[in-house]
Structure 1
Amino acid sequence: MSEEKKQELSLKDSLQHKNRAEVLSYNKCFGNLKELAGQFLGVAKLSKRVEKPVFHFSLRLAPGETLTNNQLIEVGRECAKEFGVADNQYICVLHKDTKEQHIHIVANRVGYNSKVASDSNSYKRMAALCRKLEKQYKLQEVLSPRAFLSPKDRLLPRQDQRKEKLKTDIRQTLEKVHSYVEFQQRMQALGYKLIKGRGISFIDDKKVKVKGSEVGFSLAKIEKVLALKQELATKQAEQKIYEAAIQRDTKQQTLSPAQKMLCETQRAAHVEHSLIVPVTKELSSLLEQLLQPVDTSNYLPYELTEEGIKRRKRKQKSHRI
């Protein structure tokens, strides 16, 4: 991004896009990006077994909440302690290009003693750390992912406003459109950027990315809804043509009022018992079911699912071989 563009964005949203990053603290390292990379690499070579020597964490405060730089440095230090890298190389960086304060902690998993900090259960450990920091600094308290809660705590009601809004926007948009192109255009008009691959993700105006599967609308489900809507529209059009043809034939005949009434009754019976009607009813019912988002309260990132864990273990094993 050019300097002019950064300045333009800074004036537009009152955020700092130029010089947006500030290093709050260095731990056993120093210098610019190139110097830091060289230092991290030099220490990482002390271990020949580690594949991913760098830890990267990001912590974001809720809208309206702020901490001083010293407090953010303390938060970074607490994070480093939790993951066993407090005595390793790490830096704590503050980003200023979003309305919510957020910091990044980049640490070397390899220490000067050549020992490697464990990265197992990182989601669970980070969730526990966030709950601890919320109480320590009197920040807004939220619940951890349900998978990390006790059976009792899993019963507590919870709501992610961002995901709830996305869920509503997807459902209401799907009700109005009949093709993926229309769906994409309407979602973009609502402020979302769509990323379509094997799945689908949505990036809102705060640059927060949410997978469709996290809110009950996977790409497969969206495509099935749209295909059903197209099929339903076709069947409904066929039904209208069928009804119009019967009505036209009736009008062309010279009939008495009683005969016309009989024909109208027969026409209604034909329509009611035609093959098109049950199909359209079935499609409408199925469509209504699909438009209901599934319960995602127990959603887990792929890395934490049984399949994800097995895949990571197979990959690690193949690298060792």
Structure 2
Amino acid sequence: MIGYVGTGASFYECIRYCLEDKRQLSEQQKIELAARDHLQHKERAEVLIYNQCGGNKHELTEQFLEVMKLNRRVEKPVLHISLRLAPGDVLTKAQMMEMGQECAKEFGIADHQYICVLHKDTNEPHIHIAANRVGFDGRVASDSNNYKRMAALCRRLEKRFRLTQVLSPRKFLSPAERILPRHDSRKEKLRADIRQTLENVSAYSSFEQQMKALGYKVIKGRGICFIDDKKVKIKGSEVGFSLATIERVLSLKEQITAKQNAVNVNPPVSRTQRSAPSTDLQTVQLQRELSTLLQQLFRPEQEGNYIDPELMRDFKKKKKRLGQSPS
């Protein structure tokens, strides 16, 4: 399970996002997407819980604003939470409601105004909670340690509902969990897409065009980064493909293609007429360099070595004893 928690200033915008379809999609696009991926893009939102509130987006906003007036000092009265299941995990609506209520308790808004909304337009079921941090007593729900609390909540819910366990942000893991290798499926997919594209093209323009066809926005400057269909931005260097590396691979492929074309257009009359170093030899050298580079880039991601926590503790104790012993 993946959780998000944030605060904001606009009740209307948060509630509108939770209750309405995606603005960038036309009605025709919603119909086409629904037929293609069998998801509900039209009327994607279903309200599971109205807590201390009710109505449409305008009525809800008005109600939230009225209670917010009980504490005018708070600059960010909006609490926005989302919980997304991992691929393959499924819960009933009753379980999703239970999950939303547990989330409200964790963040101190169980008695505040909030709505819990199920979105049906993605493969992974997920809920959104739009809440008023200001309670009916004028007190404000704390936003301290939000990310740590969200990580702990996700781990509890995963165990409670027997869901796939997703590692929390690294700094919130226990010492034993921190040394476990992590798997980032988003980066793995980007790495695989770049790898496959580089195998198929020989020019940067073709590379960028094919990456865009795969759903990425490509931003090239001093480096290169990719934005996927979920608006997540990842640097090429984070997945082993910096701009310099991509350009070097494409440059080698261009040089090899150019030399092979030159040989085909003007083939030597006989082997004795080939000069040394010949065009063939230069091509072979370029191919070897390209092959070596591709092998380094295309090999599977290193998993990392697992270190037994017990051995680590013994090592630290031994090191501490040695440090304390007289020299």
Distance in 1 (CA, whole Å) between partners of 2:261 and 2:123 is 56
Task: Rate the CA distance shift 1:164–1:242 in 2: closer, same or farther, 3 A.
Answer: closer
Secondary structure of the residue aligned to 1:72 is: helix
Q: Is the 8 A contact 2:53 2:113 kept in 1?
A: yes
Supply the AA of the counterpart residue of 2:216.
Answer: L
Q: Unaligned 5+ residue runs, structure 2? A: 1-24, 305-327
Question: Which string of whole-angstrom CA distances, capped at 9 and with x for unpartnered residues, describes residues 112-161 of structure 1?
Answer: 33333333333322121111011112222232233321221123344344
Q: Is the 8 A contact 1:24 1:92 kept in 2?
A: yes
Q: Which residue of the partner structure matches residue 83 of structure 1?
A: 107
1:35 aligned residue (59, 76, 81): 59
Q: Is the 8 A contact 1:184 1:194 kept in 2?
A: no
Secondary structure of the residue aligned to 1:58 is: strand
Structure 1 length as normaliser, TM-score?
A: 0.67
Distance in 2 (CA, whole Å) between partners of 1:83 and 1:49 is 20
Structure 2 length as normaliser, TM-score?
A: 0.66
Task: Rate the CA distance shift 1:232–1:138 in 2: closer, same or farther, 3 A.
Answer: closer
Please say if 1:74 is aligned against 2:98: yes
Supply the AA of the counterpart residue of 1:96.
Answer: K
Distance in 2 (CA, whole Å) between partners of 1:34 and 1:158 is 43
Q: Which residue of the partner structure matches residue 248 of structure 2?
A: 228
Task: Rate the CA distance shift 1:59–1:119 in 2: closer, same or farther, 3 A.
Answer: same
Q: Is the 8 A contact 2:112 2:132 kept in 1?
A: yes
Q: Is the 8 A contact 1:178 1:230 kept in 2?
A: yes
Higher fraction of helix:
1
Q: Is the 8 A contact 1:163 1:215 kept in 2?
A: no
Higher-Rg structure is 1
Q: By how many angstroms is 1:238 displaced?
A: 7.8
Q: Is the 8 A contact 2:253 2:290 kept in 1?
A: no
1:194 aligned residue (189, 210, 216): 216
Task: Rate the CA distance shift 1:281–1:56 in 2: closer, same or farther, 3 A.
Answer: same
Q: Is the 8 A contact 1:216 1:296 kept in 2?
A: no
Q: By how many angstroms is 1:166 displaced?
A: 3.0
- Superposed, 1:112-151 pairs within 5 Å as 112-151=136-175
Distance in 1 (CA, whole Å) between partners of 2:30 and 2:142 is 38
Supply the AA of the counterpart residue of 1:228.
Answer: R
Q: Is the 8 A contact 1:180 1:223 kept in 2?
A: no
Q: Is the 8 A contact 2:151 2:168 kept in 1?
A: yes
Q: By how many angstroms is 1:24 displaced?
A: 0.8
Distance in 1 (CA, whole Å) between partners of 2:138 and 2:188 is 46
Task: Rate the CA distance shift 1:182–1:222 in 2: closer, same or farther, 3 A.
Answer: farther
Q: CA RMSD in A?
A: 4.0
Q: Which residue of the partner structure matches residue 211 of structure 1?
A: 233
Q: Is the 8 A contact 1:179 1:226 kept in 2?
A: no
